[in-house]
Structures are given as structure tokens and as C-alpha cells.
Amino acid sequence: MAELKKIAVMTSGGDAPGMNACIRAVVRNAIFKGVEVVGIHRGYEGMIDGDFENLESHKVSNIIQRGGTILKSARSERFRTKEGRQKAFEQMKFAGVQAFVAIGGDGTFRGATVFEKEHGIQCIGVPGTIDNDLFGTDYTLGFDTAINTAIDAIDKIRDTADSHNRLFFVEVMGRDAGFIALSCAIAGGAEAVVIPETETNIDNLITILEKGWYHKKSSAIVVVAEGDEAGGAYDIARLVKEKFSEYDTRVAILGHIQRGGNPSVYDRILGSRLGVGAVDALLAGRRNEMIGVTNGKISFTPFSKATKHHQEINKNLLQLVEILSI
């Protein structure tokens, strides 16, 4: 394999707090190792358009504490086509880029897999998604910040719920996975949690709420992952209210507030470790792998495995919500 002289870094898919910390780490470690770095704006879209920027050390100063991504992000329909990937390869070749770090989720890694197969471009992926659903890492970049942002909102909702004897259905992000919802339910003292990984039984949910009412609870909170099969918070609240009307019922949708904000200390450290590790992995000749942290140590998982399998919900944590809700 030819010695790497120039690499690129990009962010793709949904933004996640800690991406900037990771970009900073990639740039600084590459420069430390004598390798040039190019930033690709707007993910695969920017790769196709040649929207590149040479990144020097000072260009990533004062970004570790910022949410979002300085490189911007986008989803690219054009990159799904062979013609789009050919154009991206031509742009990378013209810029002298030999390998790249892709910060994103499973769609990002699937794209990198096809790109490498067709054009031989070496890639290491960094798991940047607030959903924490990628196989091969204990935590994904942005998850810790997202749950802390959500729990701050839930704590405030509990105050007003207590003041008015209200039942709140709080919807958090999680189209395909309930990790955010489950963590917030435990940390926020919720009476119940509704997630895509388990079948939602409205009658069982009502039974839980009735027990709280008879135990003279002055409020109740149900955390709902947006992707639950029974519907979002509004649908579930309507179904519950039809059979249980003791509480004054309200719905709160936290939405994209969970993606924003300054990254937590954990996400800054995680982004820094993964960024440095990704550059080292490229220099060592690794390719088509996702870097992660497992049991506190840097680990690598092939893209094919990271995107095919998903992190599984800890059933003991589900039971914890039930036990602590009485």
C-alpha cells in the first residue's frame, strides 16, 4: 500500500454533538504524523461536488466545545448511483486524497463500503449518531449529550406536571431504537417507557398509570421513542386518555433540540479518542472498519457487521423502569 500523504475527513447523515471534537482530533493527529488533511463539506454531496477545504491546525481551534459540525452534513441521493460515486472518486483523485475518515451512521458506512469496492478508496468510520444503535461500540458519538439534553427538558416537565396533577407523554428521538428513551426514562424517574424494541400494550400501560394514581402520585411521565409501532406520543396519549382520564394529559415533543448544544465532557473525550484512533488506523492500513470503544478500549468492527447488526436493548434496564415506577 502506498504511503498516505493526504487524507480527508467528513461528516454525513444527522449531526451529533462531538463531531467537531472528532474533526479536530483527526486534523491534529494527521498533522502530527506528517499527513495533509482535507475537509469535505456536506458529506458525500460535497465529495461529488469537490467541495474541499485544506485543514490546518488553526482552522480547528476553538471548535471542541461547539455542537453541530463545521463541515456541515447532508444526505446524498446522487452518491447512491454509480455515476455519482464515479464523480466523487474523480474529485478525490484530483485533490490527491488517498483515504478518508467518515463520521456518521450506518448509511454513511454502507456508502463507504460500496465506494471502496468500486474504487479502492480506504476508509475508517467513526460512529457519529445520537441513537447509540451501532454494533461494535459501547457508545456512539453524541448519545451522551443527547440524553443529557433530553433529561434536562424532562426534569422541567416534571415540575409543571407535579404542579397540575398532569400526565405527560414526552417524545424523544429514536426512529428505530429506544436507547435514548430508555436512558431518559430511568434518569427522569418516568412511570413507563415505550420503545420500538418491545411490543406496546396500551392496557398494560394504563395499569401502570392506575397504580401510580391509586398510590397518590401527583404526576406521571411516559417517555416515548418516536419510532414505536403504536405511534408517536400523540397517538399513544390519545389511546390512553380514552380509557384513563384521571390525569390531565399533555404531550411534549422534544424533537431536534436533542441534536444540538455543546457536547458533554464524555462526548468531547470520545470524539477526541476516536478521531486520533481513526487516523492511526488509516496509517496502519486498516480499511472498511468502524472504530469504537468497547469496555473502555479502542476496538474495530467491519462495516458489514456494524451496519448489519444493531446494539441490543438491555432488558435489565427495562425491568429497572418497571421496578422504580411503583
User: Mapped to the 3 state alphabet, what secondary structure does 134-187 carry?
Assistant: ECCCCCCECHHHHHHHHHHHHHHHHHHHHHHCEEEEEEECCCCCCHHHHHHHHH
Cβ atoms of 219 and 166 closer than 8 Å: yes
Q: Are both 6-142+263-308 and 143-259 of the same fold?
A: yes
The three grid cell numbers given for residue 263, joined into one nine-digit string:
457536547
Is 214 a residue whose pLDDT tops 70?
Answer: no
Which contiguous run of DSSP H or E holds residue 252? strand 248-253
What residues are labeled active site?
131
- Rounded Cα distance, 3 and 39, in Å: 20
- Rounded Cα distance, 286 and 288, in Å: 7
Q: Is residue 240 helix, strand or coil?
A: helix
pTM: 0.91
Give the distance, in angstroms, between the CA of residue 27 and the centroid of all CA atoms in the same chain: 22
Place 113 in a pLDDT band, splitting at 50, 70 and 90.
very high
Place 71 in a pLDDT band, splitting at 50, 70 and 90.
very high
Lowest mean pLDDT among 250-254, 287-291, 322-326: 322-326
Residue ranges per structural domain of the chain: 6-142+263-308, 143-259
The domain covering 143-259 belongs, at the CATH homologous superfamily level, to Phosphofructokinase domain (3.40.50.460)
CATH class, range 6-142+263-308: alpha beta
- Rounded Cα distance, 311 and 298, in Å: 17
The three grid cell numbers given for residue 24, joined into one nine-digit string:
479536530
Question: pLDDT value at position 90?
Answer: 97
